[in-house]
């Protein structure tokens, strides 16, 4: 079970829950970027043998995402697959 988020205040423009801070980004199976204020979460992850990298990200929250939501895969193994074929004419 996780500790409650460290920051219970929400950015004035954010419609997201304070638990948005638990939206983390995994760099690899052992390394995770975590909102810098979430020290209890980082301690818990480190107790499981993971490396938690504190990342200042609170000011991005008004845009509706945190570390995981605002990243995009830049490389994938395997073949390209279009999950939405024929959605835009000509593409």
Rg (CA), the chain: 16
Is the entire prediction scored with pTM above 0.85?
no
Q: Which of 19-23, 26-30, 37-41 has the highest mean pLDDT?
A: 37-41
Q: What is the pLDDT of residues 44-86, one digit of tens each?
A: 999 999 999 998 877 776 666 677 777 766 666 777 777 666 6
> Three-class SS of residue 27?
strand
> Three-class SS of residue 29?
coil
């Amino acid at each position: 079970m996780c500790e409650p988020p460290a920051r219970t205040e929400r950015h004035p423009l954010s419609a997201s829950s304070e638990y948005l801070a638990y939206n983390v980004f995994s760099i690899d199976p052992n390394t995770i970027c975590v909102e810098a204020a979430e020290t209890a979460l980082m301690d818990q992850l480190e107790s499981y043998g993971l490396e938690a990298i504190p990342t200042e990200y609170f000011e991005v929250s008004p845009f509706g995402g945190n570390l995981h939501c605002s990243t995009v895969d830049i490389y994938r193994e395997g073949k390209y697959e279009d999950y939405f074929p024929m959605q835009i004419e000509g593409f």
